[in-house]
């Protein structure tokens, strides 16, 4: 199993090293077709190669072993089902609200950053506040699920 972790680590380190090499190298050392961006193509090749190696070498290790544990199934009543649905509603509505809020704020922050790049910090705070709406809904849902 350790070799699987080593191969995954090789994929990530190879991706980072290839990106750094291609970013810092002189422009004329590597000639690739014009249609392929050198950094993206090489990084993709290294990453896909490592992932194919993971797939070919580690497919048996990744499968879960079957257990013969007998689990007693309890029937969920209509009231319990409605309670679980009700606990999920705050997350759904708050996520929709956060999506509606982030759209215009993101567009306005991009416009503000292009005019004055020093406003990046403020605009990120506004985006974080809008995204916090979804976190609040998730917290409420978790609290409701703990009460069920």
User: Is residue 15 pLDDT above 80, yes or no?
Assistant: no
pLDDT at 18: 72
The DSSP-derived string for 101-116 is HHHHHHHHHHHHHHH-
Q: Are 44 and 18 in contact (CB under 8 A)?
A: no
User: Is residue 136 pLDDT above 70, yes or no?
Assistant: yes
pLDDT at 93: 92
- Count of the separate structural domains present in the chain: 2
User: Is residue 107 pLDDT above 70, yes or no?
Assistant: yes
Q: The domain that contains 83 carries what CATH number? A: 1.20.20.10
71 within a domain of the structure (yes/no): no
pTM above 0.75, yes or no: no
67 within a domain of the structure (yes/no): no
Q: Which residues contact 99 (CB under 8 A, 6 or more apart)?
A: none
* Helices assigned H by DSSP within 2-77: 2-24, 38-62
Would you place residue 94 in the very low, low, confident or very high pLDDT band (cuts 50, 70, 90)?
A: very high
Q: Which residue segment(s) compose the domain that 23 sits in?
A: 2-62
Six token digits for residue 115: 């005019």
For residues 91-110, give the mean pLDDT.
Answer: 92
User: Domain check: are 9 and 40 in the same one?
Assistant: yes
User: Domain check: are 85 and 55 in the same one?
Assistant: no
User: Domain check: are 28 and 87 in the same one?
Assistant: no
**Average pLDDT score, the chain:** 79
pLDDT at 33: 58
User: Domain check: are 106 and 138 in the same one?
Assistant: yes
27 within a domain of the structure (yes/no): yes
User: Domain check: are 56 and 19 in the same one?
Assistant: yes
């Amino acid at each position: 199993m350790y070799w699987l972790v080593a191969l995954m680590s090789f994929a990530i380190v190879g991706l980072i090293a290839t990106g750094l090499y291609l970013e810092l190298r002189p422009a004329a050392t590597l000639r690739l077709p014009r249609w392929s961006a050198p950094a993206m193509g090489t990084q993709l090749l290294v990453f896909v190669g490592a992932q194919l190696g993971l797939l070919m070498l580690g497919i048996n290790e990744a499968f879960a072993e079957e257990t013969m544990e007998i689990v007693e199934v309890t029937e969920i009543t209509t009231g319990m089902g409605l309670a679980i649905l009700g606990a999920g509603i705050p997350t759904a509505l708050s996520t929709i609200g956060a999506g509606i809020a982030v759209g215009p704020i993101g567009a306005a922050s991009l416009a503000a950053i292009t005019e004055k790049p020093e406003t990046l910090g403020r605009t990120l705070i506004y985006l974080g506040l809008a995204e916090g709406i979804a976190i609040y809904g998730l917290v409420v849902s978790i609290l409701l699920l703990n009460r069920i």
